[in-house]
């Protein structure tokens, strides 16, 4: 990936201040700006609950890479995985 002049240094400084690698910093920023899409029709109650919890956490705007942000991302990934697996079972 090509970055404009100076951006790499800004990312490095932000990563250092957040105590993470540059890669983790970029991933945290991308996750914040491009959250996982929530499927419209979720039939599984566990997946619905996890998406609901993640949405509540995100409404409080946790800092990227914070434990709360990571928790919301984890809930979204698990809920998405549950939804996909339930589709496979139903087919």
Distance (Å, whole) CA 70 – CA 26: 14
pLDDT, tens digit, 9 for 90 and up, residues 67-87? 998 999 899 999 988 888 887
pTM of the model: 0.56
Distance (Å, whole) CA 63 – CA 61: 6
Sequence ranges of the domains in the chain: 1-34, 39-91
pLDDT, tens digit, 9 for 90 and up, residues 39-56? 667 778 888 899 989 989
Please report which confidence band the pLDDT of residue 64 belongs to, taking 50, 70 and 90 as the band edges: confident
Distance (Å, whole) CA 15 – CA 47: 32
């Amino acid at each position: 990936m090509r970055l404009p002049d100076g951006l790499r240094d800004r990312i490095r400084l932000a990563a250092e201040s957040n105590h993470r690698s540059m890669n983790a910093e970029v991933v945290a920023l991308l996750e914040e700006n491009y959250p996982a899409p929530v499927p419209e029709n979720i039939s599984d109650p566990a997946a619905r609950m996890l998406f609901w919890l993640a949405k509540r956490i995100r409404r409080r705007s946790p800092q990227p890479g914070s434990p709360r942000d990571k928790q919301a991302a984890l809930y979204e990934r698990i809920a998405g995985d549950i939804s996909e697996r339930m589709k496979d079972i139903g087919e």
